[in-house]
Structure 1
Amino acid sequence: MTFPSLFLAFFLLTSSFSPLAAGSSAAYPIIPGTVDTSVSAAPSDDLIPVRREVYDDGKLFDITHRYTSDMPVWESDDGLGQFLWLPKSMKNGSLANNSEMKLPTHTGTHVDAPGHVFDHYFDAGFDVDTLDLEVLNGPALLVDVPRDTNLTAEAMKSLNIPQGVRRVLFRTLNTDRKLMFKKQFDTSYVGFTKDGAQWLVDNTDIKFVGKLLGLNNTSIGP
Structure 2
Amino acid sequence: MAAAHLVLLLLVAGSHGFPTVAEASEAHPGYAGTDTCEGPAEVRMGIEEYGGGRIVDITHAYQPDLPAFASGEVTGPVVRLKESMANGSLYNLSELRMECHRGTHVDAPGHINQDHFAAGLDVDTLDLEVLNGPALLVDTPRNTNITAKAMESLRIPKGVRRVLFRTLNTDRKLMWKKGGDLSYVGFTEDGAQWLVDNTDIKLIGVDYLSVAAYSDLISAHVVFFRIPV
- State the TM-score, normalizing by the size of structure 2: 0.69
Aligned in 2, Cα 1:53/1:142: closer, same or farther, shift over 3 Å?
Answer: farther
Given candidates 45, 49, 66, the residue that maps to 1:52 is 45
Q: Indicate whether 1:121 and 2:112 are aligned.
A: no
SS of residue paired to 2:186: coil
Alpha-carbon distance in 2 for matches of 1:192, 1:63: 21
The answer to whether residue 127 in structure 2 is matched with residue 135 in structure 1 is no
Q: How many residues align?
A: 173
SS of residue matched to 1:158 = helix
Q: Secondary structure at the match of 1:114?
A: coil
Give 3-state SS (helix, strand or coil) of 1:183's partner.
coil
Q: Give the TM-score normalised by the residue count of structure 1.
A: 0.71
What is the RMSD of the two structures over their aligned residues, measured on CA atoms? 2.2
Q: Give 1 or 2: higher strand fraction.
A: 2
The aligned residue for residue 208 of structure 2 is 217
Structure 1: segments with no counterpart, 5+ residues: 1-27, 29-46
- Equivalent residues of 2:66, 2:175 under 8 A apart: yes
Q: How far, CA to CA, are the matches of 1:50 and 1:152 in structure 2?
A: 35
Distance 1:102 1:48, change over 3 A: closer
Q: 1:192 to 1:48 in 2, by over 3 A?
A: closer
> What is the CA distance between 1:178 and its match in structure 2?
1.0
Residue of structure 2 in register with 1:73 after alignment: 68
In structure 2, runs of 5+ residues without a counterpart are 1-36, 214-229
User: Hey, what's the Cα distance between the residues in 2 that align with 1:48 and 1:76?
Assistant: 29
User: Paired residue for 2:19?
Assistant: none
1:100-179 mapped onto 2 (5 Å cutoff): 100-179=95-174
Aligned partner of 1:201 in structure 2 is 196
C-alpha separation in 2, matches of 1:219 and 1:170: 12
Q: 1:213 corresponds to which letter in structure 2?
A: I
Which structure has the larger Rg? 1
Q: Which amino acid aligns with 2:162?
A: R
Distance across 2 between alignment mates of 1:106 and 1:174:
18
d(CA) in 2 for partners of 1:96, 1:60:
36
Q: Cα 1:174–1:50, aligned 2, differ >3 Å: closer, same or farther?
A: closer
- Larger relative contact order (C-alpha < 8 A, sep ≥ 6)? 2
Q: d(CA) in 2 for partners of 1:62 and 1:189?
A: 23
SS of the equivalent of 2:193 reads helix
